[in-house]
Amino acid sequence: MFAKTPSAILAGLWGALLLLGAGTAHAEYPLNLMKGVTEISNKVYDLHMLIFWICVVACVLVFAVLIYSIFTHRKSKGAEPADFHESTTVEIIWTTIPFLVLVAMAVPATTTLLALEDTRDSDMSIQVTGYQWKWKYDYLDEDISFFSVLTTPREQIEGTEPKSENYLMEVDNPVVVPINKKIRFLITSNDVIHSWWVPDLGWKQDAVPGFINDAWTELTEPGTYRGKCAELCGKDHGFMPIVLIAKTQEDYDAWVDEQKGAAAAAADAATQTLTMDELMARGESAYNTNCAACHQANGQGIPGVFPAIAGGPIATGDIAKHIDIGVNGVPGTAMQAFGEQLSAVDLAAVITYQRNAFGNDTGDMVQPADITAAK
Ligand SMILES: [Cu+2]
């Protein structure tokens, strides 16, 4: 049906691409760098445009001279090549001009880079830690600390439900900051290399285990800014988005109070005794958010990589060992220490759930106090 020469195939592919391009809205795929919403991101954009136009001018000039020379001095017109060697004038010219162009580019580039890296005199600091596959935020001045996990339901990911507007770009606990404050981010990782990237801020920063990188931003407009992990960090790399919400100082203060209230309530809840139904309901949702990425929603795991919880020797065996793995993880494996990630209530519930779901029927209940004791 089709001519199978390489050029015909290439032409076909090119045609298909053009068709695709024509069929999709241009606004969704802007060709240029985005401007972002901060002073720095605009500086980065301006720098990018400046360098771009310098390149355009250089390109036009060089090709103009080249094409003109080839055309006017071609052999068929009887052009005689010059036969001089080592023209000092030419050498000086072709060294000086590029040198000046490079200096003209280096000055604004360095200025922008220095401004981008200057985290001094910040008003507040947030430590950002990458985990497989979620982010943790510690507000160093406020004693607030939480994990931020993807909330897109598995059904949407597996395609059995239509995808929502913020598909794979939504989390349970967004990182909240006040506007008109210089915020310093200290970025690191707990396991592998991740990268914290919110395009509207104009930068991304690697999160490297054992290192602390810093970066800063100052937002002027309240709003929601979304981003994602930008370093290939394993199986669920595409499933650890970032949601940054900028609020007015007043709203931010209210949010801080709310967070402190929630922390107190969690401490309170850790002393309660829950019923089996309560534990199972809470456990199911905690399992789907925190464990299903590896052990799978049906508890079957992925053979050879993530052990099955259904009928598993730990989940149906020694309860103390199960709690220990939940709290302390298995060092050196992808099984993290959830003791510091989940509240005592959630961890008690998730372990109860694992022992009584997927056909496991130990009938065991784990209470928050058991978790606190194991920590
Ligand atoms: Cu990552």
Q: Residue 296: what pLDDT?
A: 93
Are 232 and 291 within one domain? Answer: no
Q: Residue 265: what pLDDT?
A: 84
Cα-to-centroid distance, 148 and ligand 1 (Å): 13
Residue 25 domain flag: no
Residue 2 domain flag: no
Dist CA 145 CA 255 (whole Å): 13
CATH number for 137? 2.60.40.420
Cα-to-centroid distance, 195 and ligand 1 (Å): 6
Domain boundary (267, 291, 307) is at 267
Q: Residue 17: what pLDDT?
A: 52
Are 294 and 362 within one domain? Answer: yes
Residues 371, 347: contact at Cβ < 8 Å?
A: yes
Q: Residue 13: what pLDDT?
A: 57
Cα-to-centroid distance, 100 and ligand 1 (Å): 41
Dist CA 29 CA 165 (whole Å): 17
Q: Residue 11: what pLDDT?
A: 55
Q: Residue 28: what pLDDT?
A: 63
Cα-to-centroid distance, 189 and ligand 1 (Å): 9
Are 145 and 239 within one domain? Answer: yes
Nearest in space to 233 (alpha carbons), one of 133, 139, 306 = 133
Rounded mean pLDDT for each run of 10 residues along the chain, 375 residues in total: 50 53 53 92 95 95 95 90 86 94 95 95 96 94 91 89 93 96 96 96 96 96 96 94 97 94 83 91 92 92 93 93 94 89 92 95 92 88
pTM of the model: 0.76
Residues sharing a CB contact under 8 Å with residue 21, sequence separation 6 or more, in sequence order: none
Domain of residue 324: give its range: 270-374
Residues 251, 68: contact at Cβ < 8 Å?
A: no
Domain boundary (52, 82, 117) is at 117
Cα-to-centroid distance, 17 and ligand 1 (Å): 30
Nearest in space to 295 (alpha carbons), one of 191, 284, 340 = 284
CATH number for 42? 1.10.287.90
> What is the tally of structural domains in the chain?
3
